[in-house]
A = this chain, B = another copy of it.
Amino acid sequence: MMKLILVAAALISLLSPSREPNLYEKSRAALIERVGSALESPVSLPAPCDGGGGPVHETHKANYMLISDLAKAWQLTGDRKYSDRLRAMLIAYADMYPGLGYHPIVLSNTPGRLFWQTLNECVWLVHVAPAYQSIRSTLSEADRNHIDNDLIRPMAEFAMQGTPDNRANLATFNSIHNHGTWAVAAVGLAGFALGDDSLVEKALYGTDLSGSNGGFLQQMDELFSPDGYYTEGAYYQRYAIWPFFLFASALDKERPQLKIFERRDGILLKSVDALIQMSYKGMLLPFNDAVAKDLTAQELICAIDIAYSANPSRKDLLSIVRDYHDRVLLTEQGLKVAKDLAAGKARPYEFRSVLLSDGADGSQGGYAILRSPGGAALGFKATSQGMGHGHFDRLSLIYCDNGNEILSDYGSARFVNVDEKYHGHYTPENKSYAKQTIAHNTLVVDGVSHYKASAGKAGATHAEILAFNTADPSFQYVGGCEKSAYKDVTLTRWTALAETDFLQYPILLDLMIADSRKPHVYDLPFHYNGHMISLTVPYNRALDRMEPAGENFGYQHLWLEASASAAPGSTSFTWMTGDRMYSLSSATDPGTEILMLRTGANDPSFHLRSEPVLVLRRKSQGRAVFASCIETHGIYDNSTEQSANLVHSCSGVKVLSDDDSLLKVEYIFAGGQSLRLVLDKKASTLSIDR
């Protein structure tokens, strides 16, 4: 019987939450294996020569990761083989570094020595300095002096102020920008490694030590809005939180009196939260300069582990770890995450409709996300420009449903780390296409991008959120406006997700309004991600000759695939994505032109992906209202070849009235159903009559 009890106990333990493989143990085992196989090869320090993704660049990147791994392995096991190799690598770098001039690839105004830009060198130092710190006391004085004085200190000094030939790094170090965060984190962590408080002070308060001309604390205060939104958008927020959390974690230990995780009401935790909210099915919404990134990114593994450890009441963060991470940090923080996860403490993370204000004081517009109960998500951008990585896309939308981007954002034109594609850097088409307004789901006036695509002018302003109302989950809306993108045109947009009792899925209702006293041509693009199914008016497809849709502001990159005159009343366009249909219906008149375009023109080096876009073009004597809806409908079951509801329901969209106070729009559906949308301009409210 005793045996049976033991069997029962063993089975109970198998079924208990701790049966879940302990993520810490798994991470530790992976580290030991990874480091073990790295130890089989000799130290490799090739001379710097190539860009991101090039073999030498990647070798030095792999080296900093190995250095960091070796320190962890040494701390976890006490085995000298790890610290010996760590020492050997640091000595080798200390031998090499003083002899390096500027990197031969000239693409950056802050060139590095080990890498093509100082930024990568700072990333290197952020990881190497703590590793060095972990073994420094075990080294001989000679080794210590060599590594201190020929590697860590000069690298920190270089990151802080560059060389007499080029002081651009000094401006970066003191800047309120993610490059600045990497620089101060690198210098601060080097300060901790060297035991040099002056470096730490400069990292915290800027080189003038005033705290108001740069430094980590000012960056924390100014780069995030009170809601934790980082002004460059989700993609760079992901990148920036890495040095924020690594340096903050060190400060929490070395300078506990700073109470760094409590600063600004816990702004760093808020920033992690904001980032998670800006994801759809794990994918970060790809606005501004962005390439596909999701919640599995290494930066989020780092930030979430540290954030949870600093705020262990946030059990919902554990479910992000469980659902997206295959490892934890090999620190006390990661151990806590793994233990609590294994103990079954995870709580569901609630993806909500949220408005994330932009600007240090939250006054520079914001990024809104509406989520329908059924799981669709809408991103609405009415932020500031987002600095150099910002796009000219005020009031642009991203719409996701059923696991797919439905209205997509091109993100950036870049092949990160692919040396053969413009050295992995932003390609020229990032500026000439991806940043331009036509590359986004928002209004273009007279074929010219917002702010004439001048980052300087755009950076001086921001869009505004007029309303954000999610009190009724079945009718949520957001409104925004942009007054300065064009000299004499004000843009206003109201977008809602509404549920009805006659449509299969929530419907997106969209009012884009251009106000002007002068005649203009208005283009409203819809970057539909899918295959064109039908248009309710005849169209002319380019058959044996195709030309670009324009000459500049991104139009030069778009082949004109087809064009049509819209119908009187309204026009509907259907595309298929995954196993569902999506239909855009818009109030149109025969003067409305419909253009169907595709990226790829004037792209000599195949830098652009081939993607379609539908544009509604309207000439107006001044004001124009684009009243549209996007229905989700239909199911296509490929296993049984059963389909249903493949034809859109909306048969009419009509602006009923439009005066100083009210704008009323009616949507008519099959079976005589209808919706009325009323915008009260003075009250800044949108209401629906279903």
Contacts and interface: CB of A to CB of B under 8 A. Distances in A.
Contacts of A610: 598, 610, 612
Contact of A547 (B544, B602, B646): B544
Contacts of A619: none
Interface stretch (A3-11, A37-45, A493-501, A510-518): A3-11
A683 interface: no
Contacts of A1: 1
A502 to B, nearest CB: 16
A298 B606 contact: no
A62 B546 CA distance: 43
Contacts of A294: 638
Contact of A7 (B8, B534, B612, B639): B8
Nearest to A4: B8
Interface in A59-93: 61-62, 65
Given A531-B609, A603-B541, A606-B532, A297 B639 contact: yes
A4 to B, nearest CB: 6
Contact of A543 (B61, B598, B601, B612): B601
Contacts of A12: 7, 11
A11 B15 contact: yes
Contacts of A640: 65, 298
A296 B598 CA distance: 34
Interface stretch (A209-217, A366-374, A417-425): A417-425
Contacts of A602: 543-544
Interface in A535-551: 541, 543-548
A458 to B, nearest CB: 28
Contacts of A11: 8, 11-12, 14-15
A601 B559 CA distance: 12
Contacts of A644: 55, 58, 62
Interface in A598-657: 598, 600-606, 609-610, 612, 636, 638-644, 646-647
A532 to B, nearest CB: 4
A541 B420 contact: no
A605 B541 contact: yes
Q: How many copies does the complex hold?
A: 2
Contacts of A548: 544
Contacts of A605: 541
A420 B647 contact: yes
B647 A419 contact: yes
A417 B641 contact: yes
Interface residues of A, number: 66
Contact of A561 (B58, B298, B545, B600): B600
Which interface residue of A534, A603, A606 has the most chain B CB atoms within 10 A?
A606
Contacts of A142: none
A292 interface: yes
Contacts of A61: 642
A342 interface: no
A574 interface: yes
A576 interface: yes
Contacts of A296: 638-639
Contacts of A298: 639-641
A315 interface: no
A305 B14 CA distance: 34
Given A11-B12, A598-B610, A642 B62 contact: yes
Which interface residue of A548, A556, A610, A612 has the most chain B CB atoms within 10 A?
A610
B643 A58 contact: yes
B533 A421 contact: yes
Interface in A436-469: none
A322 interface: no
A604 B543 contact: yes
Interface in A542-582: 543-548, 556, 559, 561-562, 574, 576
B417 A643 contact: yes
A416 B296 CA distance: 36
A399 B531 CA distance: 24
A646 B561 CA distance: 34
Contacts of A418: 533, 576, 636, 643, 646
A130 interface: no
A53 B642 CA distance: 8
A293 interface: yes
Nearest to A639: B296
Nearest to A612: B610
A228 to B, nearest CB: 22
A533 B604 CA distance: 12
Interface in A13-29: 14-15
Nearest to A62: B642
Nearest to A644: B58
Interface in A410-432: 415-421
Contact of A544 (B415, B601, B638, B647): B601
A333 to B, nearest CB: 19
Interface string A87-130: 00000000000000000000000000000000000000000000
A636 B606 contact: no
Interface in A373-416: 415-416
Contacts of A576: 415, 418
A546 B603 CA distance: 12
A380 to B, nearest CB: 26
Given A58-B643, A298-B640, A417-B646, 6 more contacts: A4-B8, A298-B639, A415-B576, A420-B647, A541-B603, A544-B602
8 contacts: A5-B8, A7-B12, A14-B15, A55-B644, A293-B638, A421-B534, A531-B609, A544-B547
Query: Would you list the 4 A-B pairs with minimal beta carbon distance, nearest first?
Result: A8-B8, A11-B11, A420-B534, A532-B606
